[in-house]
């Protein structure tokens, strides 16, 4: 719905659209994690199956918030890696699609993706 609300945006190109879509997806995940972290134990609890509980566990919320913080740090020094992570992780694009959207070679996307993942792994495991 947030992306639909972007209707008045004059999309410049595919890169612009996918960048906004990835940012909206990240924002949704972070907002949901923050909301779940803020709720009191049992407040507004929903009945869920064990399979659903594994997907929406509080540990996952903590990881989403930690990832968001690490991505904010990444944004401070490498916007290109941040856009690649956004498109691959939050946008669900593969290497070739990301390369096409960003007008870079697939090998460059692979290289930057590996570097970004290594950096994020290091940040998240400190």
Residue-wise pLDDT tens digits, 77-103: 999 999 999 889 888 889 999 998 899
Report CA Rg, the chain: 16
Q: Are 24 and 2 in contact (CB under 8 A)?
A: yes
- Residue keyed to tokens 């096409």: 100
Q: Which pTM was predicted?
A: 0.62
What lies within 8 Å, CB to CB, of 70 at 6+ separation is 120, 123, 124
In the chain, where does DSSP find H-type helix?
14-38, 50-55, 58-77, 79-85, 95-102, 106-124
Q: Which two tokens stand for residue 47?
A: 């009945």
3-state secondary structure of 110: helix
pLDDT one-digit tens code per residue, 18-54: 777 777 877 787 777 777 776 644 555 555 444 444 4
């Amino acid at each position: 719905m947030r992306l639909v609300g972007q209707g008045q945006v004059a999309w410049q190109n595919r890169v612009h659209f996918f960048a906004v879509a990835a940012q909206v997806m990240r924002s949704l995940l972070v907002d949901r994690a923050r909301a779940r972290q803020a709720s009191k134990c049992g407040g507004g609890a929903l009945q869920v199956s064990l399979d659903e509980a594994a997907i929406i566990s509080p540990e996952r919320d903590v990881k989403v918030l930690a990832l968001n913080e690490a991505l904010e740090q990444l944004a401070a020094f490498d916007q290109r890696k941040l856009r690649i992570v956004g498109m691959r992780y939050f946008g669900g694009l593969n290497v070739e699609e990301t390369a096409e959207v960003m007008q870079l070679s697939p090998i460059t996307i692979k290289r930057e993706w590996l570097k970004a993942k290594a950096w994020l792994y290091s940040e998240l495991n400190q």
